[in-house]
Structure 1
Amino acid sequence: MKKTNYIYLVLCTLTATLFLGSCQLGKHYTRPKLNLPETLDSTSVDSTSLGDYSWEEMYTDTTLQTLIRKTLTYNKDMLIAAARVKELAAMKRIDYANMFPAVGVKAYGEKEGENYGGDHYKSSNEFDLKIGATWELDLWGKLRWNRDKSLAEFMGSIENQRALKMTLIAQVAQAYFELVALDNELSIVRKTVDARRESLHLARIRYEGGLTSETAFRQAQVELARTATLVPDLERKIALKENEIAFLSGDYPHHIQRSILPEEVMFTNSLPVGLPSTLLERRPDVRQAEQALIAANASVGAAFTNLFPTISLTASYGAESAELKDLLKSPYHLLSVNILQPIFAMGKNRAMLKAKKAACEQAAYAYEKAVLNAFKDAYNAIVEFNKIKEVYETRLRLEQASKSALDLAQLQYINGVIGYMDLLDAQRGYLDAQISLSNAIRDKQITMINLYKALGGGWKESNTSQQPM
């Protein structure tokens, strides 16, 4: 009969646990109202977005693709983020396991002898072999709130890894195009130095022939020296940019292979930016901020449940005997219930609840700030993209006009129609126009990078990759 009562007690306890286990006290997470704008760009209402393309489709330069893949594999920040994901995955598993009973086996043996006074020997032995289980009943949802928190932190680490990937791709691509632009600028300057040497040679001949004054000859020397000083400065910038790319790719400084800057720049007729609501799903940094808010909300729920009693079950079954030979003949069982109700703790639990609510409020503001920052980046990138086309076209016309003016000035100078200072002005104008056009091409590439990143592109491998959850 006693055994039947014992089993009945266990079944009643388990039934009550399962019935009450559906209760999870606290306010569940709801996304804050953001009042998003209707569109990102007045000229585009398509739901498709540039951010939906994979980075391989955006950056078709095979050399750049190799650098990006190397960076995503060996960059130290990426490796740190990957290790962080592993850490939080294990922590998530711990909080999930806390919801279930912990079962263990205990084997214990003790042989003790006492002889106080020399003639009162007493033997006190103990041998145990038991299977024990402990289980904290999640009546109010504390363990489930902790599970939700660890899950949100784990998902946040994944979004952080994705955001880092998106940033690294943009950094490598921008550094690569800046490096190519520096190469192009150095090539322009070196050609200009050669042209200055020819001008100096011509000025020397005209000066020695008495056709011009010494001033024009000396000015030609000054201009050659001034242009030549640009070469080592550009070589320094190129070396530093190579070192930056090597560091991003997790390598020591070395020469970076790259292509040449394209002469023609093609612009798309339309700009697919997508809908404002989808921007929140494509930007992993925004999604990371939301996961941090979900984790903070779960912490509030867990702190709230600390105001209620904690109930734990402990059960043991096995054998216990003073003699090892009688161990299997001495059954043992135990079932205990431990209820802990906080009564007086100087307001510690309520203060903790207030602190968690304040932390959740901070996380909510941080999420709203991340959303505002995402839209600011998107709007800025769209403005830059729309204006860079005009900048490029005007600088292209300037370069073409400066080239024509220089050709005419050289012809007139040889024929003695204009002086050397007029030729020098034309040479300076053409050099500035060439560098300005090269920078416009670079800025166009960087503008595309910034737009792609602002729209949340880069962290997915291809269009068939796993979509945001």
Structure 2
Amino acid sequence: MTKIFHPIALGLLGLMMQACGIPDLTVKNEDTHLPEQFKTDLTEQSTGGPVVKWKDFFEDPNLLSLIDIAIVNNKEVNMMLQRISVAENEIQARKGQYLPFVKLGAAAEGEKVGDFTRNGAVENSLMLKNGQAFPTVLGDYRFGLFSTWEIDVWKKLRNSAQVAVLEFMATNEGKNFLVTNLVSEVAHSYYELLALDNQLDNLVQNITIQQNGLEIVKQLQFFARTSTLAVKRYEAEVAKNQSKMYEIKQQITVVENRINYLLGRTPQPIQRASSGFMELKPKFIQAGIPSQLLQNRPDIRKAELELSAAKLNIDVAKANFYPSFGINAGIGFDAFALKYLINTPESLAASIAGELVAPVVNKNAIIAEYKNSNAKQIQAAYEYEQSIINAFTEVANQLSNIDNLDKNYHLKRGQVDALVKSIDISVQLFKSARTDYLDVLLTQRDALEAKKELIETKQKQIIAMVDLYKSLGGGWQ
């Protein structure tokens, strides 16, 4: 009994010594407090939350088709899928670490010892059972099963496997966040393309109006009712707007190529329906309550999972201070000559051994790893808090933006209507010599600029709702 007690006592004493050498660290608790509601008069907030899938949020079939292609072909998404595969394989690798390792092995070696050595003298004095002397070169042939197993007393290996699971889940949430951003980028570019088409149509219509005005000025010049200066000013204005057409066409080409890049393909025309752009109404969605961001935003869930993994990594690093317990075992055949290798039971061999290993001197690397795991946990907690604040800020900004853009659009709509009417009035006044040609030019120029700003405001309205949808989680739950 005493022989058994002494090793146990020594082991417990070593364990106590290890525990005394662990530095004291502070784990940061994350702050997830958010206001109860978003401050906005735009929408009535409910607890339902924005869980509309993007296929239901977007109604344009051309845009839906582009998004489908982007999700399948986008290079960054496909690279992320490979990172997910790596993270999944890491789970399998770490789970295997706390199971016994069993290997099948074989070995062969030969040894010639000197006759006047101890082993040589023993071999020379012995003979085999059949009366033959030991061979000059003594062989050693082995094959069998060999097993090693680290007993996971402190859950170090199991916690490490759970860390891999959390990191895999975080990587998957990262993919969801990437897809959300990709859907938003495709929608941004698509609506920008529709806006540019409308800008081009607006410019063409304005050029037509100015060309008609140019013909009127030429007729009035023929009857000596205006000067050559008016004709030249009109010609210059028409040429200026015609040159702008090519600028817009180049912008359209750039945006089309940007969409194709997001879709993972070479440049080609983008199918779209631009005619009803100005009649589009931004799709209304409920903002929900701020606390729902914690469940709906993939980036927040990713940060939360990374924080959980960082906390568990502290336990993994802490387990390095404790003794590790291992079992080594083997069974097989062992003989000095091949012809005896499978003789049983003479050549049958087996072994089993246990080991207890604990760090005693120079634990600097273990201490440093433990402190690093704590620092990474604190960093992950701050990143989690930052992602929550960022999400809340994005939603608050977009709610305010949508409200102000709605008011802005209605005022600009009235400005455009008034300027369009003033064009006809200015032309009639010019024909009757009651106003100067410059008034007509300036009125047309103002109307063109106002209509351009109205189209841009409509684009901003639609994009703001897309950004709000993305900020609320993009339909992920």
Name the counterpart of 1:310. Answer: 324
Residue identity matched to 1:254 = Q
- Count of aligned positions: 433
**Hey, what does 1:61 align to over in structure 2?**
60
Shift of 1:363: 1.2
TM-score by length of 1: 0.87
> CA contact under 8 A between 1:126 and 1:321: conserved in structure 2?
yes
Identity %: 26
Q: In the TM superposition, what is the alpha-carbon distance from 1:164 to its structure 2 partner? A: 0.4
- Contact conserved, 2:160 with 2:316, CA < 8 A, in 1? yes
Determine the C-alpha separation between the residues in 1 that align with 2:26 and 2:136: 62
Contact 2:173–2:301 (8 Å) recurs in 1? yes
> What CA distance in whole angstroms lies between the structure 2 residues aligned with 1:76 and 1:328?
61
Alignment of 1:51-450 (within 5 A): 52-110=51-109, 122-260=136-274, 261-266=276-281, 271-326=285-340, 327-329=342-344, 330-345=347-362, 347-450=364-467
The match for 2:30 among 28, 32, 45 is 32
CA distance in 2, matches of 1:257, 1:266: 21
Residue 115 of structure 1 contacts residue 121 of structure 1 at CA under 8 Å; is this kept in 2?
Answer: no
Q: Write the distance in 1 (CA, Å) between the matches of 2:49 and 2:233.
A: 55
- Matches of 2:215 and 2:29 in 1, distance apart? 74
Alpha-carbon distance change, 246 to 453 in structure 1, aligned in 2, over 3 angstroms: same
User: Is there any run of 5+ residues in structure 2 with no aligned partner, and where?
Assistant: 1-21, 117-123, 125-133
Whole-Å separation in 1 of the counterparts to 2:179 and 2:29: 25
| CA-CA distance at 1:116 after TM superposition | 8.6
Contact 1:113 1:121 in 2 (8 A): no
Whole-Å separation in 1 of the counterparts to 2:245 and 2:320: 69
Q: For 1:6-21, what aligned pairs fall within 5 Å after superposition?
A: none
For residues 18-59 of structure 1, the C-alpha deviation after alignment (integer angstroms, 9 at most, x for no partner) is: xxxxxxx99999972322110124553311223x11111111
CA distance in 2, matches of 1:81, 1:456: 19
**Cα offset, 1:188, TM superposition:** 0.8
Question: Letter of the aligned partner of 1:348 in structure 2?
Answer: A
Pair 400,328 (structure 1): closer, same or farther in 2 beyond 3 Å: farther
Letter in 1 for 2:38: L
**Runs of 5+ unmatched residues, structure 1:** 1-24, 461-467
Contact in 2 for aligned 1:134/1:313 (Cα 8 Å): yes
* Separation in structure 1 between the aligned mates of residue 69 and residue 206 of structure 2, nearest angstrom: 36
For 1:299-346, what per-residue CA distance to the aligned partner results, in whole angstroms no more than 9, with x for missing partners? Answer: 211111111111111111222222334324122111111211101115
Q: Please identify, of 61-70 and 318-327, the stretch whose mean Cα deviation from structure 2 is larger.
A: 318-327
- Between structure 1 and structure 2, the one with the greater Rg is 2
Secondary structure of the residue aligned to 2:279 is coil
Contact residue 25 and residue 371 of structure 2 kept, 8 A: no
Residues in 1 aligned to 2:462 and 2:154: alpha-carbon distance in whole angstroms:
56
Measured after TM superposition, the shift of residue 111 of structure 1 is 5.7
